[in-house]
Structure 1
Amino acid sequence: MKKIFFFILCSFWGFSQTQMPNIELSSVDGESFNVSTDYNETDKLYVFSFWATWCAPCINELDAIHQKYDELKEELNMEVIAVSIDDTRTQKRVKPLLNGKKWSYDVLLDTNQDLKRALSIVNVPYTIVVKNEKIVYISNGYSQGAEEELYTKLKEL
């Protein structure tokens, strides 16, 4: 009986996580974006990369993606959205870091961690790929070269 309950619970959880939640986040410039409705162009790949200013692997991952971003953006019809989970204490570090990095991504602030909680994210870096309003790939953690695995997966999708 416990196995059946566990299977049903896991199946329900997996099913409930196939779409991005309907949550509004702000950009660093104060513009509001809905992660479900503003990023839903048909057949476009949206890479949501969850990061924080205090997370060195997160920044390394976003730097590595940025090196090939312009090329991949055109080739794969993709867009990267960097979602900062910095809280109100560390949020003030986001804009200065972005000024130094010159990333060409949309950067959204999940200051209250609503999106992080809705997606049951425990640790960053955490990457979600969305296509046609469905989550099609998830990656947790980063080590040097992992962006190549992401590129391969994006090409498959």
Structure 2
Amino acid sequence: MHIFFIFLFCTVFKAQQSDVSVIKYEDLEKRIQQEKDKLLVINFWSTTCAPCVKELPHFMEVNAEYSDNQKYKMILISLDRLADKERVLKFIKNKNLTAEVILLDDIKRMNTWIPRFDQDWDGNIPVTLFYKNGTKFYFNDGEMSKEDLKKTIKENLQ
């Protein structure tokens, strides 16, 4: 029984990030293209956004279901300020976020890069984008239910 708990602790500890990549929009765009062989789920969120925080637990449940699939990847894009990086790291640990988290340090140019993701995006979060073969195929504006998230992944993952 003790061995099980040690294994469980090590597994959870290993799954969490100890640091966050800080990137600009152009680097995020390149990163999306690098993952073009996968079904890519990109979620924009912030630690101060109540709907974002509310949806993250079921995002992590769904991520756990598919994390062993080589054709799947979830990336959480934090829109917190760079000055709040420590808060983001603490949030990742406290909420046991197992998907990769990236801090997008490009708030001053939001009006430039937001429409490049989707013309209908008004800048509010949460927003979830789905890519397949490097091309966006679905844009979810606002909170996304666990059922809709699973359905979108399942229908497009091959």
Q: Same fold (TM over 0.5)?
A: yes
Cα deviation, residue 99, structure 1: 1.3
User: Relative to 1, partners in 2 of residues 1:63 and 1:84: Cα closer, same or farther, differing over 3 Å?
Assistant: same
> Where does the alignment leave 5 or more consecutive residues of structure 2 unmatched?
1-17, 116-120
Deviation readout 1:89-132 (Å, 9 max, x if unpaired):
54442111111112111111113224674133410000011111
- Matching residue within 88, 92, 117 for 1:94: 88
Report 1:6-155 matches (<5 A): 28-30=19-21, 34-39=27-32, 40-74=34-68, 77-113=71-107, 114=109, 117-120=112-115, 121=121, 122-142=123-143, 146-155=145-154
> Where does the alignment leave 5 or more consecutive residues of structure 1 unmatched?
1-26
1:84/1:108 contact within 8 Å kept: yes
Q: Secondary structure at the match of 1:149?
A: helix
Question: 1:43 and 1:30 mapped to 2: Cα distance?
Answer: 22
Cα deviation, residue 48, structure 1: 0.7
Question: 2:66 and 2:43 mapped to 1: Cα distance?
Answer: 16
User: Relative to 1, partners in 2 of residues 1:151 and 1:76: Cα closer, same or farther, differing over 3 Å?
Assistant: farther
Letter in 2 for 1:119: I
Question: 1:38 and 1:73 mapped to 2: Cα distance?
Answer: 18
Sequence identity (%): 27
Aligned counterpart, 2:8:
none
User: Relative to 1, partners in 2 of residues 1:82 and 1:103: Cα closer, same or farther, differing over 3 Å?
Assistant: same
Pairwise CA RMSD: 2.6
TM-score (ref. length: structure 2)? 0.68
Larger deviation: 29-38 or 88-97?
29-38
Give 4+ residue runs of structure 1 displaced > 6 Å after superposition.
none
